[in-house]
Amino acid sequence: MNLHVKFPSGGFRGLIDSYTHTRGESIYLDDIPEISGTLFGACFDSPIAHGVIKDLDYSEALKSEGVVRIFTSQDIPGRNQIGGIVEDEELLAESKVHFCGMPIALIVATSEESARLAVKKVKVKIDPLPVITDPREAKEKNELIIPPRTFKIGDTASSFEKCAYVFEGRADSNGQEHLYIETQGAYAVPSENGSLKIYSSTQGPTAVQRACSKVLGIPMHQLEVDVTRLGGGFGGKEDQANAWAALCALAAFHLKRPVKYALHRMEDMRMTGKRHPYSSDFKIGLSKEFKILAYEATFYQNAGAAADLSPAVLERTLFHCTNSYFIPNVKATAYSCRTNLPPNTAFRGFGGPQGMFVIESAIAKAAEELKVNASEIQKRNLIRTGEEFPYGQIAVSEANECWVKAEELYELNKATQEVRNFNAENKFLKKGIALMPICFGISFTKTLMNQARSLVHVYSDGSVNISTGAVEMGQGVNTKILQVAANVFSISPDKVKINSANTFRIANTSPTAASAAADLNGRATMMACNEILGRLKIVGAKELGCKPDEIEIREECVYANDGKSKLDWKQLVMLAYTKRVSLSEHAHYATPDIHFDLKAEKGHPFSYHVYGTGIVTVTLDCIRGIYEFDSVKVVHDFGQSMNPVIDKGQCEGGIVQGIGWMTMEEIIYDKEGKLKSNALSTYKVPDVYSAPKQIDVHFLETKNNSLALFNSKAVGEPPLMYGIGAYFALRNAVKAFNAGSLISFDAPLTPEKVLMALYSGKS
């Protein structure tokens, strides 16, 4: 493996997986060599969104060629329950179905084709029940997943009275298909005494282990879950990989043969949940000087038919409902509404983007009514260090730094003037520009999840092997963990290998999520490596006749009191081994100082916040309603990036994914709860042609990041939220063509909706 740079201190660049990725040699679930005798699963899933199962007839399917057995809820030896936060989700439907795509039976056959052919021969009679797809309707009918939650600071009612301006409105954002390149899937292999090894495309190996343990009714110690890497997760495999693993495990458990199930794209789109659509009401009050004095919001989250992660997503919507602004009086209430859609789930940003879209809509509404640029209001209200978020945490803010730097670096005044000039000169082409400041809290909002472990082995040849609970899904976490070991030991990256995430090596892992995997698992790795290094120093000191703290390893040479010794890394390791000193360590890290009181809805839930400012510019064709994003220019708070190539990639990917959510990816369920956008021909994600023509990422170096790994702030989710600026840039372009447009705050702003908006409100 050529890693370009021998030592990390020389500036480590890129991803360790690049080599095998580009050669097509990286191993994903479907690349695992199949053991002979492997069987294949496929689900018969509900064609109806809500109803009572009257009859299930799979006699024809059983006779179908290659079919070995068909499993229903009756075959579950443990509990038919996969709900994580709330126990409200059956693995296989018993008497009722709650959404189109809900698994009813698992067909196991000798080939994938046979299994899928047999699925078509299953007959079901379902007495339909009323279908709810709209979260506001669910709220009216009191169909709530959990009781509503409210975050409050100050007193909104009395402050609205003091405001010079008050505006109200409604904002809607739609869901988003994860569209990981690798679909969901699992492969369960039985071993002795009823144990199983389960390969799963999951962000949460322990979540899979727990779900399988519950379903099979066997202890977790019999379930080895192994994850080499994912072809993307984006939150979609934080919780929703469990079902497929549990189904494979169920079949393998009964049949004592390996069983695999990798979903086809359309099955995946139909059966799995997505980003939560939200419908929200807002009320914003400003002073004469455009200070936001009061803000109220009510969020209706479309949770789908079961809780899944919705309560946690709901919470993050509240945490981020004021984005990067300080507002002294806030009251935000959120309802998690049960509908008859597949349970919606984690998706990059985890409810944060939905909350941020609403405050940005409120600001845009105010700006439009007051006939000023939204940026006038945005800038005046950016949170400052020492100010308080509605949930009680005191900000250590980079919001102003990012904004001011973006203004200067990207010559905002000039850019704004250019847009104005362009619009004055062009009748049917209009440009729009918008600024999007972001603020995202790093840590799982559930405090207990902020823990991780790392198992480090140094072998007698000086090579190092590391296991953590972190799952590599293209975000580069393995590279960052490798950098930690290479750095602490001061050895070549070639000497370090990162293992698959495996529940027998690392127990009780939190999912790789919340952008926190490198911080948590990297810290644990740093602790383990430092522990081993300490032992090596004692061995070296004895050998070289000095004190342990006088020993240093630099680029694989051992130094005593700054003098190069006769020992190198390999010899030191071998010496320790011969002296019977342990060369392995298992370390545990728990983020310090975070807490949250659920009764008061106050606390200090995040180890830190990530800030940034993006400037989005778009050109709109006002005859066709189509558009191109000229540029997205951001100043992003990276702390001190430990791997600029990875971090820039995360920014670019996040931005394009955010733009997709806001402008073109349109999930459509009909009134009966059937997914109409159920294939890549009807669901459009950004391609190279629709990605912005230019993306600039400026690395703002900031301090105060001692809880970040090597002071390098978490980067996985925050950049997605720059994409929200795309909606507002596009909206501004529409308004430049038709100031009286009746355009609503309704994302995604697809070309279709743009075209309607361009000519709405005109007589």
Active site amino acids: 717
Residue number with CB closer to ligand MTE (473 or 635) = 473
Chain positions 210 to 269 lying near ligand MTE, rule: CB under 6 A, are 232-235
Q: How far is the CB of 475 from ligand MTE (least distance, A)?
A: 4
Q: How far is the CB of 444 from ligand MOS (least distance, A)?
A: 9
Between CA 669 and CA 47 the distance in angstroms is: 13
**Separation in Å, CA 480 to CA 17, 202, 250, 487, 530:** 12, 20, 36, 10, 16
Residue 312 partner contact from ligand MTE, ligand MOS, ligand LUZ, none using kind-dependent CB cut-offs of 5 to 8 Å: ligand LUZ
Q: How far is the CB of 316 from ligand MOS (least distance, A)?
A: 9
Indicate the angle between helix axes 569-578 and 517-544, nearest 10 degrees: 80
The single-letter code of the amino acid at 255 is: L
Residues in contact with ligand MTE, shown as a per-residue x/- string from 701 to 730 under the rule CB under 6 A: -------------x-xx-------------
Q: How far is the CB of 326 from ligand MOS (least distance, A)?
A: 26
Residues in contact with ligand MOS, shown as a per-residue x/- string from 716 to 755 under the rule CB under 6 A: -x--------------------------------------
Residue 445 partner contact from ligand LUZ, ligand MOS, ligand MTE, none using kind-dependent CB cut-offs of 5 to 8 Å: ligand LUZ
**Total binding residues toward ligand MOS, as defined by CB under 6 A:** 11
Q: How far is the CB of 761 from ligand MTE (least distance, A)?
A: 38
Between CA 481 and CA 17 the distance in angstroms is: 13
Among 338, 348, 674, 713, binds ligand MOS (CB under 6 A): 348
Residues in contact with ligand MTE, shown as a per-residue x/- string from 642 to 661 under the rule CB under 6 A: --------x--x--------
Report CA dihedral (269, 271, 273, 278) to the nearest 10 degrees. Answer: 80
- Tracing tokens 């790789």 back to the chain, one arrives at 512
Under DSSP, the state recorded for 718 is G
Cβ neighbours of residue 48 under 8 Å, at least 6 residues apart? 97, 100, 126, 128, 672
Chain positions 501 to 520 lying near ligand MOS, rule: CB under 6 A, are 513-514
Residue 444 partner contact from ligand MTE, ligand MOS, ligand LUZ, none using kind-dependent CB cut-offs of 5 to 8 Å: ligand LUZ
Chain positions 442 to 501 lying near ligand MTE, rule: CB under 6 A, are 473-475, 477
**Separation in Å, CA 489 to CA 486, 531, 568, 652:** 5, 11, 12, 32
Instruction: Please give the structure tokens belonging to residue 456.
Output: 């480090």
Q: How far is the CB of 458 from ligand MOS (least distance, A)?
A: 32
Q: How far is the CB of 518 from ligand MOS (least distance, A)?
A: 13
- Phi, psi of 242, deg, nearest 5: -60, -45
Chain positions 638 to 697 lying near ligand MOS, rule: CB under 6 A, are none
Under DSSP, the state recorded for 468 is E
Using the contact rule CB under 6 A, the part of the chain among 150-158, 174-182, 345-353, 670-678 near ligand MOS is 345-353
**Separation in Å, CA 374 to CA 352, 406, 520, 681:** 20, 16, 37, 36
Nearest CA among 236, 116, 50 for reference residue 106: 116
| 239 in Cβ contact with 306 (< 8 Å) | no
**Separation in Å, CA 348 to CA 62, 277, 351, 480, 641:** 41, 14, 8, 20, 20
403 dihedral zone (left: phi>0; alpha: psi -120 to 50; beta): alpha
Residue number with CB closer to ligand MOS (455 or 708) = 708
Cβ neighbours of residue 421 under 8 Å, at least 6 residues apart? none
Between CA 15 and CA 3 the distance in angstroms is: 9
Using alpha carbons only, give the angle 94, 95, 100 rounded to the nearest 5 degrees: 85
Chain positions 343 to 382 lying near ligand LUZ, rule: CB under 6 A, are 346, 350
Q: Does 346 bind ligand MOS (CB under 6 A)?
A: yes
**Total binding residues toward ligand LUZ, as defined by CB under 6 A:** 11
First to last CA, the chain: 67
**Separation in Å, CA 307 to CA 52, 275, 294, 494:** 20, 13, 31, 44
Between CA 264 and CA 40 the distance in angstroms is: 13
Q: How far is the CB of 644 from ligand MTE (least distance, A)?
A: 15
- CA 445 to the chain's CA centroid: 14
Among 316, 457, 505, 753, binds ligand LUZ (CB under 6 A): 316
Residue 518 partner contact from ligand MOS, ligand LUZ, ligand MTE, none using kind-dependent CB cut-offs of 5 to 8 Å: ligand MTE
Q: Does 274 bind ligand MOS (CB under 6 A)?
A: no
Q: How far is the CB of 515 from ligand LUZ (least distance, A)?
A: 7
Residue number with CB closer to ligand MTE (317 or 378) = 317
The single-letter code of the amino acid at 459 is: Y
3-state SS string over 88-111? CCCCCCCCEECCCCCEEEEEEECC
Strands 451-458, 464-468: parallel, antiparallel or unpaired by DSSP? Answer: antiparallel
Residue number with CB closer to ligand LUZ (39 or 655) = 655
| 128 in Cβ contact with 51 (< 8 Å) | yes
Q: How far is the CB of 446 from ligand LUZ (least distance, A)?
A: 6
Residues in contact with ligand LUZ, shown as a per-residue x/- string from 327 to 346 under the rule CB under 6 A: -------------------x
Indicate the angle between helix axes 352-370 and 310-319, nearest 10 degrees: 40
Q: How many residues can be counted in the chain? A: 763
Q: Does 515 bind ligand MTE (CB under 6 A)?
A: yes
Residues in contact with ligand MTE, shown as a per-residue x/- string from 338 to 357 under the rule CB under 6 A: ----------x---------
Among 359, 439, 514, 532, binds ligand LUZ (CB under 6 A): 514
Indicate the angle between helix axes 724-737 and 751-758, nearest 10 degrees: 30
Instruction: Please give the structure tokens belonging to residue 724.
Output: 């929200």
Residue 316 partner contact from ligand LUZ, ligand MOS, ligand MTE, none using kind-dependent CB cut-offs of 5 to 8 Å: ligand LUZ
Among 259, 305, 506, 513, binds ligand MTE (CB under 6 A): 513
Between CA 636 and CA 633 the distance in angstroms is: 10
**Separation in Å, CA 484 to CA 463, 477, 489, 495:** 14, 11, 9, 12
Residue number with CB closer to ligand MTE (518 or 572) = 518
Residue number with CB closer to ligand LUZ (445 or 712) = 445
Among 207, 250, 306, 312, binds ligand LUZ (CB under 6 A): 312
Q: Which helix (H) or strand (E) holds 226?
A: strand 223-227
Among 8, 83, 169, 235, binds ligand MOS (CB under 6 A): 235
Residue number with CB closer to ligand MTE (334 or 655) = 655
Q: Which residues would be at the binding site for ligand MTE (CB under 6 A)?
A: 232-235, 348, 473-475, 477, 512-518, 650, 653, 714, 716-717
Which residues of this protein are in contact with ligand MOS, per CB under 6 A?
203, 233, 235, 238, 346-348, 350, 513-514, 717
Binding site for ligand LUZ (CB under 6 A): 238, 309, 312, 316, 346, 350, 444-446, 513-514
